Amino acid sequence: MKIKLLAASVLSISFLFSATTLAQSAPDYTALITQAHQKYKNNNDGKVADYIPALATYSPQNFAITIATVDGKIYQVGDVKKTFPMESLSKVFTMALAMEQHGPQEVLDKLGANATGLPFNSGLAVELTKGAPENPLVNAGAMSTVSLIEAKDKTDRWNKILNNLNAWADASLTVNEPVFKSEMETNQHNQALAQLMDSYNSFYGDTREAVEIYTRQCSVDVTVEQLAKMGAVLANKGKSPYNGKQLLNEKYVPQVLAEMAIAGLYDGSGKWLYTVGIPAKSGVGGGMVAVVPGEYAIAVYSPPLDSAGNSVRAQQTIEYVAQATRSNLFLAK
């Protein structure tokens, strides 16, 4: 009897020990991203964006993955040196700046926190709500966000937005001038959206100025590593694990992540949340970032997009890593 008891307790101690070791050991991020890169690099689904002509010049083969952890580690694979324009990814960080300046209630009242159920540049969505953009991540809401940033003048507005992006990326980012020029020449639809909102008093500054600065922020180039570092600020309670700066009030991080969950992938957001369960944001340049609070951010760059404007390989890669690390936020820990 005594021997049986001893054997049982040795067994349970060793079970406990291995469970604790398992719970504590970090996932093998290098192996996971290498597997994902291998698995999806030959998937040629999707189409590189061409409604902004300069974007059509990027190779559909470009493919890079970075994981940035809250303890400041970086894991990466693929074309990690290649830069790409942030496009809609920039919207997240300017929204965070607006939240820092005005607080979450004003962001909710003026920009909203609902899905439009329509494409990211829908004029119909703005018309249906009599000017309310519904959220800061669709084009209408993002331009309205730019108009909300407190600034003395146009130069000051731009400097505040760029300095904010730089701090999040822990880098000196630059505007891709050919992309900016190309987008300025073809942004009549965005100008119309801004004017439509203005006609309903849902715009908080000069429409021409805000559309130009919005277009400039979309044209800022990043690498996948810089994008992952930006995401890691959100994973790390608003504090950059890289430069130690508190860039967003810790209390506002859940609201930024909620906006990403609601509209980060536009009309693909619901399916994304249902299948993967972590907040994410895409850009038509082919970048995408997803955030697992308290753990890591993952950024992927691959230009071919699905019909909603989200990178195909980026979604596959992030889903693969999120599942392997049991990162779905709706799973009990």
Q: How far is CA 188 from CA 207, 284, 289, in A?
A: 12, 17, 28
Q: Shortest approach of ligand DON to residue 198 CB, angstroms? A: 17
Q: Residue 84, SS3?
A: strand
**Encoding tokens for residue 172?**
């000196």
Residues 55, 260, 170: CA angle, nearest 5 degrees: 70
| Interaction of residue 283 with ligand DON, rule CB under 6 A | yes
32 neighbors 320 (Cβ within 8 angstroms): yes
Site stretch for ligand DON (CB under 6 A), options 22-30, 146-154, 223-231, 276-284: 276-284
**Strand, helix or coil for residue 330:** coil
Q: Judged by CB, which is closer to ligand DON: 240, or 310?
A: 310
Interface with ligand DON, residue 318, by CB under 6 A:
no
CB of 50 to ligand DON, least distance (A): 12
**Cα dihedral sign for 128, 134, 136, 137?**
negative
The region of 63-71, 126-134, 159-167, 279-287 touching ligand DON under the rule CB under 6 A is 279-287
Q: Residue 309, interface with ligand DON (CB under 6 A)?
A: yes
| Distance of closest approach, residue 309 Cβ to ligand DON, in angstroms | 4
Reading across the β-sheet that carries 64-69, which strands appear in turn?
Answer: 74-78, 64-69, 296-301, 287-292, 280-282
Q: How many CB atoms lie within 10 A of CB 244?
A: 9
Distance CA 276, CA 289 (A): 13
User: ∠ at Cα 218 (294, 213), nearest 5°?
Assistant: 115
List the structure tokens of 270. Answer: 């619901």
Taking the complex as a whole, how short is the minimal distance between the CB of residue 123 and ligand DON, in angstroms?
13
With beta carbons less than 8 A apart as the criterion, state whether 70 and 235 touch.
Answer: yes
- List binders of ligand DON among 29-88 (CB under 6 A): 87-88
Shortest distance in whole angstroms from residue 87 CB to ligand DON: 3
Q: Is 222 in the site for ligand DON (CB under 6 A)?
A: no
Q: Which of 94, 121, 122, 182 binds ligand DON (CB under 6 A)?
A: 121
Nearest residue to ligand DON on Cβ basis: 88
Which segment (5-13, 75-83, 267-275, 280-288) binds ligand DON by CB under 6 A? 280-288
Contact between 120 and ligand DON by CB under 6 A: the answer reads yes
**Does 122 engage in binding with ligand DON (CB under 6 A)?**
no
Rounded to 5°, the CA angle 169-261-48 comes to 65
Which residues, 134 to 153, sit near ligand DON by CB under 6 A? 139
Query: Binding residue for ligand DON (CB under 6 A) from 94, 282, 302, 325?
Result: 282
Q: How far is the CB of 272 from ligand DON (least distance, A)?
A: 12
Write down the least CB distance from residue 286 to ligand DON, Å: 9
Local structure of 225: helix, strand or coil: helix
Residue 2, CA distances (Å) to 9, 13, 15 in order: 11, 16, 20
Beta carbon nearer to ligand DON, 283 or 304? 283
Extract the tokens encoding 316: 């596959």
Closest CB to ligand DON among residues 77, 97: 97
The site for ligand DON, by CB under 6 A, has a size of: 13
Residues forming contacts to ligand DON in the complex (CB under 6 A) are 87-88, 120-121, 139, 183, 190, 218, 282-284, 309-310
